[in-house]
Structure 1
Amino acid sequence: MIETILPAITALIGTTIGGLLAFLVQKKQFQHELDKLKLQNKTEFMAEETVKHFLNHKTYTDRSFDVIKKHLGGFDDDELRKILVRAGAIRDYRDDGSEWWRLLSRMDEYIEKKTSKKQLERVN
């Protein structure tokens, strides 16, 4: 009986150790690939964070595209617009044709300011 159980136990232990080692190697490889992807796309992630910083300014709900472009050099216009969209911004054109951006999350604040401004104009 021991002659049949001993090989089965050693096979089970060998399979368990092999599976555990394969799991650890795959986990390490996955983490390495994830770190590599984050490093490759770091420029876009940081640009997105910078855009959010500018558009979250407590005084200004909107920023002109020219101001954003001035502070975020190294991107062409289309790339910068894609970064703005990924950051959650929406575009608006003013009467003079200039391009302005604001965060969608600050839309209520923008509407409130616009409404209070119109009410002040009516009073005066």
Structure 2
Amino acid sequence: MDPIVAGLLATLVGAIVGGGVSFLLNRQLHAQQLERLRTEHKTEFAAEDTARHFLSHRGYTDRSFEVLRKHLGGFEDDELRRILVRAGAVRTYRDDSSEWWRLLSRMDEYIDQKVRRADVTAAD
């Protein structure tokens, strides 16, 4: 075999093996960092899951801020609002200026309920 071809082949194999090892080590490092961050922010992740649970109840598309605050105790109001936004919720206000939250993913369901109520009211 020509020494130049052998050198190129050895360089190529070395680059592939080195790149593969580097890729695997970086992947493992990122997985460990993600797990460490999840552990550090476990309370916030659990609060987001709990907020999603309350806002996903099939009987209620909206929840008042007071109810959410009661069930997600231990957070300041602004911190709780940030958790609700991270959970995928949007804030609305009622005519009495009370604050209500709904999952953005349930907006179509809310609109359908509103249209059905309007149809029932119009039929009466």
What do the CA deviations read for 1:51-110 (whole angstroms, capped 9, x no partner)?
110011011000000000000011111111111111111111001110000011111110
Which structure 2 residues correspond to residues 21-100 of structure 1 after superposition, within 5 A? 29-100=29-100
Corresponding letter in the other structure for 1:48 = E
Higher deviation after alignment, 113-122 or 66-75: 113-122
Distance 1:39 1:58 in 2: 31
Q: How far apart are residue 21 of structure 1 and its match?
A: 8.0
CA offsets, 1:11-69, max 9 Å, x none? xxxxxx99988777666544433221110011111111111100110110000000000
State the Cα distance separating 1:120 from its structure 2 match. 1.0
Q: TM-score, normalised by structure 2?
A: 0.77
Specify every segment of 5 or more residues in structure 2 that has no aligned partner in the other structure, as ranges.
Answer: 1-16
Q: What corresponds to 2:115 in structure 1? A: 115
Unaligned 5+ runs, structure 1: 1-16
Which has the larger displacement, 23-32 or 39-48?
23-32
Larger Rg: 1
Cα gap change, 1:45 to 1:118, in 2 (>3 Å): same
> Which residue identity lines up with residue 61 of structure 2 in the other structure?
T
Give the counterpart letter for 1:108 in structure 2. D
Count of residue correspondences: 123
What SS is found at the alignment partner of 1:70?
helix
| Structure 2 CA distance for partners of 1:69 and 1:24, relative to 1, 3 Å | same
Identity %: 57
1:67 match: secondary structure = helix
